[in-house]
């Protein structure tokens, strides 16, 4: 059933679609997808071009806007927007510890999750595009992992695109996960250094918290085992526009005095739960390294293995000396499936995915070199999540792609900038700048 409703200045419509689980077997099992159509109230009856938004991740449903937030207001000036919950996220066949056992055991779950990468998401888009637009090409806006999906779109189905817009999401076309993380750890170290330069008082605070966790067993109210490594993973915040400030405010009231001595405060522990738990996006943890799998080499817990090449990230070694504790970034580790109650039942499934040797290529350099779709990409200088050198190398591969390299914004620039990033990308594709 299609349901429409209103927010100030907007008309929203819930859309539901049925697509094959495996697009190579269209007569086989199907799954349900959900998307939210959004149009400006004053243009609701008009025949407008479509823009489909591909959220970052993997594993996150499309952003739930209230009114014309972030880039949405700019898009609605000329488009009807489709906010797609990519398969496995939001209301689109959610994949989590509660639903995956319906598939069977870990082996069946891992096989199922091989269909939740960029290639399947793009084929979903092409399936529903014919239903929505009647076959007319549409514009795609891909943020972060959504940009990875957009490059796959340009590689496999460019005929479905009128324009491609990418923000913080130009992937390496051939890098193994090990290459991705070898480039990532030094970037994260720079972000941590910048944070401590801004908030020097956090150096000692972070050391005190890590020391407490190395000498005490701490279990958060939701059952999450808080270790020093888990605490370090809060560094993922540092890739966002306000992430350094959020981390600082999180650390400033970590401890409280009690009759039994000083311990981590309830408020601090409550806040940590929201940052560390994968209950709302477990697919992110399950397939994160798989998005880099493109050949017979297993990803093999790449972030964990590569971390050993950077001993400065070892909490115990840092505390044994007088250096600062380093936070980590966008990395997934085996211990997360022990610490997080939302992930514990999926540990064996994750192990099987990490060991797979049958990943297929996601990008076609030859087809990208012959691209005819107008495409523009925002590349954020020293982006913590996506390596700038990798992004620019890919940009040179895609024929006609125009880049906007900027240090004005972090990875979340399309959200933090209001309409500025989207407006600039549209102008680039139209040769207006």
Q: Is 114 exposed, middle or buried (0-12, 13-18, 19+ CB in 10 A)?
A: middle
Q: Which DSSP string corresponds to 49-65?
A: -EEEEE-SSSS-PPP--
Going by C-alpha positions, the residue among 419, 378, 411, 375 that lies closest to residue 72 is 419
- Residue 109 has φ and ψ, to the nearest 5°, of -65, -45
User: Residues near 111 by Cβ (< 8 Å), separated by ≥ 6?
Assistant: 103
Give residue 258's pLDDT: 96
Q: With CA atoms as reference, report the closest residue to 244 among 288, 299, 201, 182.
A: 201
Tokens 């996220």 -> residue? 89
Q: What is the dihedral of CA 258, 263, 269, 275, to 10 degrees?
A: 150
Write out the chain's pLDDT in tens, 433 residues: 688 999 999 999 999 999 999 999 999 999 999 999 999 999 999 999 999 999 999 999 999 999 899 999 999 999 999 999 999 999 999 999 999 999 999 999 999 999 999 999 999 999 999 999 999 999 999 999 999 999 999 999 999 999 999 999 999 999 999 999 999 999 999 999 999 999 999 999 999 999 999 999 999 999 999 999 999 999 999 999 999 999 999 999 999 999 999 999 999 999 999 999 999 999 999 999 999 999 999 999 999 999 999 999 999 999 999 989 999 999 999 999 999 999 999 999 999 999 999 999 999 999 999 999 999 999 999 999 999 999 999 999 999 999 999 999 999 999 999 999 999 999 999 999 8
DSSP letters, 371-412, are --S-EEEEEETT-SSS-HHHHHHHHHHSTT-EEEEESSS-TT
Closest CA to 357 of 304, 300, 284, 286: 300
Sequence-distant (≥ 6) Cβ neighbours of residue 94 within 8 angstroms = 88
Q: Contact, 93 vs 130, CB < 8 A? A: no
* Domain locations in the chain as residue ranges: 3-173+363-429, 177-355
Q: Which two tokens stand for residue 347?
A: 């540990």
- List phi, psi (to 5°) of 151: -65, -35
Helices 106-113 + 347-355 axis angle, to 10: 60
Handedness of CA 428, 405, 398, 87 (dihedral sign): negative
Q: Which residue has the tokens 């299609």?
A: 2
Angle at 305 between CA 300 and CA 306, to 5 degrees: 120
- pLDDT at position 1 is 65
How far apart, in whole angstroms, are the C-alpha atoms of residue 129 and residue 212? 53
How far is the C-alpha of 290 from the C-alpha of 68, rounded, in Å?
34
Query: In 159-292, at which residue ranges do the beta strands (DSSP E only) sit?
Result: 161-167, 218-219, 225-226, 255-258, 261-264
Conformation bin of residue 327: beta by default, left when phi > 0, alpha when psi is -120 to 50:
beta
174: helix, strand or coil: coil
Q: Look at the block and give the residue holding tokens 């979903």.
A: 124
Catalytic entry in 120, 144, 155, 172: 144
Task: Tally the residues of the chain.
Answer: 433
Would you call 144 a catalytic residue per the annotation? yes
Place of tokens 């020391």: 211
> Is residue 119 flagged as an active site residue?
no
Both tokens assigned to 23: 């697009």
Could you give the CA distance from residue 196 to residue 190 in angstroms, rounded to a whole number?
10
Homologous superfamily in CATH for domain 3-173+363-429: Alpha/Beta hydrolase fold, catalytic domain (3.40.50.1820)
């Amino acid at each position: 059933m299609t349901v429409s409703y209103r927010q100030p200045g907007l008309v929203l419509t819930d859309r539901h679609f049925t697509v094959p689980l495996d697009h190579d077997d269209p007569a086989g099992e199907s799954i349900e997808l959900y998307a939210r159509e959004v149009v400006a109230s004053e243009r609701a009856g008009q025949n407008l071009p479509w823009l489909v938004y591909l959220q970052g991740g993997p594993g996150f449903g499309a952003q739930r806007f209230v009114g014309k937030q972030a880039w949405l207001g700019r898009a609605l000036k000329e488009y009807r927007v489709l906010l797609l919950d990519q398969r496995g996220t939001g209301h689109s066949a959610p994949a989590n510890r509660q639903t995956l056992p319906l598939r069977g055991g870990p082996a069946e779950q891992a096989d199922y999750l091989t269909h939740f990468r960029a290639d399947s998401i793009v084929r979903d888009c092409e399936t529903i595009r014919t239903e929505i637009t009647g076959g007319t090409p549409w514009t795609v806006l891909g943020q972060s992992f959504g940009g990875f999906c957009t490059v796959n779109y340009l590689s496999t189905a460019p005929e479905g695109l009128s324009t491609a817009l990418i923000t913080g999401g130009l992937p390496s076309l051939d890098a193994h996960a090990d290459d991705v993380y070898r480039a990532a750890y030094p970037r994260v170290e720079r972000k941590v250094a910048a944070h401590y330069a801004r908030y020097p008082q956090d150096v000692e605070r972070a050391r005190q918290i890590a020391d407490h966790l190395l000498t005490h067993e701490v279990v958060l109210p939701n059952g999450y085992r808080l270790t020093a490594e888990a605490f370090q993973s809060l560094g993922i915040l540092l890739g966002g526009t306000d992430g350094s400030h959020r981390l600082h405010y999180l650390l400033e009231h970590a401890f409280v005095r009690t009759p039994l001595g000083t311990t981590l405060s309830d408020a601090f522990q409550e806040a940590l739960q929201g940052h560390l738990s994968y209950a709302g996006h477990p697919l992110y943890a399950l397939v994160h390294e798989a998005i880099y799998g493109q050949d017979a080499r297993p990803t093999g817990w790449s972030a964990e293995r590569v971390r050993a090449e950077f001993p400065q990230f070892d909490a115990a070694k840092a505390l044994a000396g007088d250096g600062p504790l380093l936070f980590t970034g966008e990395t997934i580790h085996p211990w997360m499936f022990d610490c997080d109650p939302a992930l514990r039942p999926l540990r064996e499934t994750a192990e099987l995915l990490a060991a797979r040797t049958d990943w297929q290529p996601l990008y076609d350099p030859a087809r990208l070199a012959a691209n005819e779709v107008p495409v523009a990409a925002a590349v954020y200088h020293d982006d913590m999540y996506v390596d700038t050198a990798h992004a620019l190398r890919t940009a040179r591969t895609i024929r006609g792609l125009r880049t906007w390299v900027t240090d004005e914004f972090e990875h979340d620039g399309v959200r933090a900038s209001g309409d500025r990033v989207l407006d600039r990308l549209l102008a680039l594709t139209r040769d207006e700048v």
